[in-house]
Amino acid sequence: MKSLEEASNMKAARLILQKVRHMSRKGQIAARTAILLTGILAGTAAAAPANISFQTGTVASYDFGGFGPGYPVPGTIQIHGFTVQPGDTIPWHYHKGVSYVILKRGTLTEKHLVGPHRCAKEELTAGSAFIESPGEVHTITNNSADVAVIWWSTIFPKSDGIVEFSPEFKAGGIYFVTAPNCED
């Protein structure tokens, strides 16, 4: 049985989604992403990812290939340090540009889609570094008892903007997808 608060939140989300249908495509994507993350992060502000450092800069022209309009556009380069609390998961997502990641502290499990209904996972420990290709669908979970610290750099279309997922966490270049049904 749903609590009164859950029912109220669901009603509010339905009303917002009705208004979203009348927005531009870009507005719809931003609103749905905000709704999704609000639902995921609601009630967990103390345990949610939190920014350590967040720096951005703009490049005048970058070709995002199949993840862009088909011609070079202004891009935002982001260098981001953040924490992931024990038990937290960053939902399934991809990036439009290449991402470089360093796990400074802790242990994480990265799970990524490798084929239809097939996922692979790897355990990452402090000092690990890896590259995520554009369009690589993945999720990250902190299964350890310690806080993980991630340093991440990526590029994304400037027009996509920065999203504030919670007062403690903002980022750009994260595009959420429905969790795949993996047989692993």
- Residue in 41, 42, 21 with CA at minimum distance from that of residue 31: 21
Kindly report which listed range (77-81, 91-95, 136-140, 180-184) carries the lowest average pLDDT score.
Answer: 180-184
> Could you give the residue ranges of the DSSP H alpha helices within the chain?
4-20, 25-41
Q: What are 180's strand-pairing partners? A: none
Q: Where are the domains of the chain?
A: 1-42, 47-176
- Residue in 123, 142, 162 with CA at minimum distance from that of residue 48: 142
The mean of the pLDDT values for the chain is 81
pTM for the complete prediction? Answer: 0.73
Using CA atoms, how far residue 5 sits from 2, 17, 40, 98, in Å, is: 8, 18, 15, 40
Q: What is the pLDDT of residue 28?
A: 52
Task: Give the single-character DSSP code of 126.
Answer: T
Tokens standing for 15? 């009303």
DSSP H/E element including 91: strand 89-94
Local structure of 11: helix, strand or coil: helix
Rounded to an integer, the average pLDDT of 84-95 is 95
Query: What is the C-alpha separation between 165 and 88, in angstroms, rounded?
Result: 14
Q: What is the pLDDT of residue 7?
A: 40
Q: What is the pLDDT of residue 26?
A: 53
Query: What is the C-alpha separation between 38 and 35, in angstroms, rounded?
Result: 5
Residue pLDDT, tens place only, 6-48 = 444 444 444 444 444 455 555 555 444 444 444 443 433 345 7
Query: What is the C-alpha separation between 143 and 110, in angstroms, rounded?
Result: 10
- Structurally, at CATH architecture level, domain 47-176 sits in Sandwich (2.60)
Q: What is the pLDDT of residue 166?
A: 87
Would you tell me the crossing angle of helices 25-41 and 4-20 to the nearest 10 degrees? Answer: 170
The half-sphere exposure of 101 on its side-chain side, counting CA atoms within 13 A, is: 22
Is pLDDT at 168 greater than 80 in this prediction?
yes
